[in-house]
């Protein structure tokens, strides 16, 4: 699972001053239980109204049942530096880490 990959590489992301945030359509209680079950030590944001999902292209309406997997790297200036619109969940965390370390980033 993608989240476990980010969890396992969390120390490497922190070395580069990167902050990992997850966003889902789940409630606070559901996200808390999920984070506890998988030992996530990064915030899982709740987007129950799908406002973040719509703004960032993860869904098309407030009625969407699920979100598309999309990753954004947001730079220190607050601008989107890279977008990953299609991800392979298992390999994606390492791909993002390489991009942050100066490797190839999605566009």
Overall average pLDDT of the 78-92 stretch? 92
Is it the case that residue 102 has pLDDT exceeding 90? no
Q: Which residues of 55-68 are buried (b: 16+ CB within 10 A; e: fewer)?
A: ebebbeeeeeeebe
pLDDT band at 43; cut points 50, 70, 90: very high
Tell me the per-residue pLDDT of 65-84, one tens digit each, with 9 for 90 and over: 999 999 999 998 999 999 99
> What Rg value do the Cα atoms of the chain yield, rounded?
14
Tokens 């999920």 belong to residue: 34
Whether residue 107 has pLDDT greater than 60: no
What are the residues whose beta carbons fall under 8 Å from the beta carbon of 45, sequence distance 6 or more? 21, 22, 23, 24, 31, 52
Cα–Cα distance, 79 to 63 (Å, whole number): 28
**pTM of this structure:** 0.85
Q: Domains, the chain, ranges and CATH?
A: 2-100 (3.40.30.10)
Residue 104: predicted pLDDT: 60
């Amino acid at each position: 699972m993608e989240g476990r990959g980010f969890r396992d590489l969390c120390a490497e992301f922190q070395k580069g001053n990167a902050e990992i945030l997850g966003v889902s359509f789940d409630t606070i209680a559901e996200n808390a239980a999920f984070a506890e079950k998988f030992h996530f030590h990064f915030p899982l944001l709740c987007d129950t109204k799908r406002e973040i999902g719509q703004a960032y292209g993860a869904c098309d309406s407030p009625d969407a049942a699920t979100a598309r997997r999309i990753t954004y790297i947001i730079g220190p200036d607050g601008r989107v530096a890279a977008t990953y619109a299609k991800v392979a969940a298992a390999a994606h965390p390492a791909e993002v880490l390489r991009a942050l370390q100066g490797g190839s980033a999605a566009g």
